[in-house]
Structure 1
Amino acid sequence: MVRYRRNLLPGGTFFFTVTLDDRRSSALVDHVHKLRGAFRMTRADRPFTIDAIVVLPDHLHVIMTLPDNDADFPGRWRRIKSSFTHQLAASGAPISRNHRGEFSLWQRRFWEHTIRDDADFERCADYIHYNPVKHGLVASPIDWPYSSLHRYVREGLLPLDWGGSGEIAGTFGERED
């Protein structure tokens, strides 16, 4: 079995891609309020900062910063995924199970990248905010409702028409379909 090496850096800032098992699903946007609840519940018990986020139908991208003395992002993702899954199941949403009887809503792993510097952070945040356009969901990033781009615009970090034209290059751990 392959052992994945995670960069468990206390207080680190990380870019994540987390994906549903069924890439045709729209469960994340269909139940975005439950996903927000899963993040809130996890943050209440295991603090972290969401620096940038976009929620798409079948996957999400997040830049997350951990507290100075804490490096356990795998535990946070386990908790977020589990909470969301159990909220969906409790609401009666159909969720398939694997051969062991476990819910199989999420892909078992996630992709992670340690943010190295301000330029790396900006590149990753730009990728996050442009991702709905890349996937053909909207014509302009500001049109996608499930994005921290709206906060960036409100705080004056980016203009309202940011990303209206042009393209952000690169991929960050997602499969090219």
Structure 2
Amino acid sequence: MSNYRRFYIPGGTYFFTIVTYQRKPYFDNSDNINKLRIAVATVKKEMPFNIIGAVILPDHLHFLWTLPPNDQNYSKRIGRMKMLFTKSFRGNNALPKTVSTSRQKHRESNVWQRRFWEHTIQDESELETYLNYIHYNPVKHGLVSCPHLWLYSSFHTWVKKEGYSSNWGCVCQGNLDKIPNFDNLKNYVGE
């Protein structure tokens, strides 16, 4: 059996990749995205943290979170978010009732992959790189041609805060903004 070790730093900033079970596109509709947002908001209220960046794609999520000082328990927050979403999602009987024996043993449903990918952010440069990765991810996966076209991302919030120009990573109307290269992250993002 694998031995997974997580790096916990009180008040740290973390990048997460959270994937649906068997990459099912549960977030390809706005109802499920709203259920996820409610789950995240509930967890934030129960166990505060800051969301620096986020993107919701049909079969996975990316987050950048900063925890409060003296708090390092991101695993509990992610587990709670998964559970709240799953309860809400199951409420509409959208899933088959069969779950493998292994998943039953671990008290898991067939909504989420068993684990999640985490990376501890070390400095401002790395934070910027991962934030760019999050915002460019819908383009990377061929869902849209430009980051501003994806509705389920913190990109729009960052544009309003003047952290990005609205045409960052954009090819609309002949714009040839520099396309980011994330080859150096391929072993760190869990995709």
**In structure 2, what is the equivalent of residue 65 of structure 1?**
66
Matches within 5 A, 1:134-173: 134-164=140-170, 165=177, 166-170=179-183, 171=186, 172-173=188-189
Q: Considering only CA atoms, is the larger Rg found in Structure 1 or Structure 2?
A: 2
Distance (whole Å) between structure 1 residues aligned to residue 135 and residue 28 of structure 2:
16
The code of the aligned residue for 2:20 comes to: L
Distance (whole Å) between structure 1 residues aligned to residue 100 and residue 131 of structure 2:
34
The code of the aligned residue for 2:13 comes to: T
Match of 1:111 among 117, 120, 124: 117
Distance (whole Å) between structure 2 residues aligned to residue 155 and residue 22 of structure 1:
36
3-state DSSP of counterpart to 1:3: coil
Given that residues 141 and 163 in structure 1 are in contact (C-alpha distance below 8 angstroms), is that contact kept between their aligned partners in structure 2? yes
Match of 2:129 among 101, 123, 140: 123
**In structure 2, what is the equivalent of residue 27 of structure 1?**
26
The code of the aligned residue for 1:91 comes to: N
**In structure 1, what is the equivalent of residue 99 of structure 2?**
97
3-state DSSP of counterpart to 2:22: coil
Matches within 5 A, 1:66-85: 66-85=67-86
Gaps of 5+ in 2: 171-176
Given that residues 29 and 55 in structure 1 are in contact (C-alpha distance below 8 angstroms), is that contact kept between their aligned partners in structure 2? no
3-state DSSP of counterpart to 2:36: helix
What per-residue deviation string (whole Å, max 9, x for no partner) do you get for residues 56-105 of structure 1? 00001100000101100000010001110110001221255222544121
Distance (whole Å) between structure 1 residues aligned to residue 142 and residue 67 of structure 2:
32
> What's the Cα RMSD here?
1.3
Gaps of 5+ in 1: none
3-state DSSP of counterpart to 1:84: helix
Match of 2:139 among 130, 133, 143: 133
Distance (whole Å) between structure 2 residues aligned to residue 84 and residue 77 of structure 1:
11
- Per the TM alignment, residue 22 of structure 1 is displaced from its structure 2 partner at its CA by 2.1
Given that residues 11 and 69 in structure 1 are in contact (C-alpha distance below 8 angstroms), is that contact kept between their aligned partners in structure 2? yes
What per-residue deviation string (whole Å, max 9, x for no partner) do you get for residues 104-126 of structure 1? 21111111110000000000000
Distance (whole Å) between structure 2 residues aligned to residue 76 and residue 131 of structure 1:
23
3-state DSSP of counterpart to 2:62: strand
Distance (whole Å) between structure 1 residues aligned to residue 154 and residue 189 of structure 2:
20
TM-score, with normalisation over the residues of structure 1? 0.93
- After TM superposition, the runs of 4+ consecutive aligned structure 1 residues lying more than 4 A away are none
The code of the aligned residue for 1:66 comes to: L
- Per the TM alignment, residue 167 of structure 1 is displaced from its structure 2 partner at its CA by 3.2
Q: Percent identity?
A: 41
TM-score, with normalisation over the residues of structure 2? 0.87
Given that residues 130 and 168 in structure 1 are in contact (C-alpha distance below 8 angstroms), is that contact kept between their aligned partners in structure 2? no
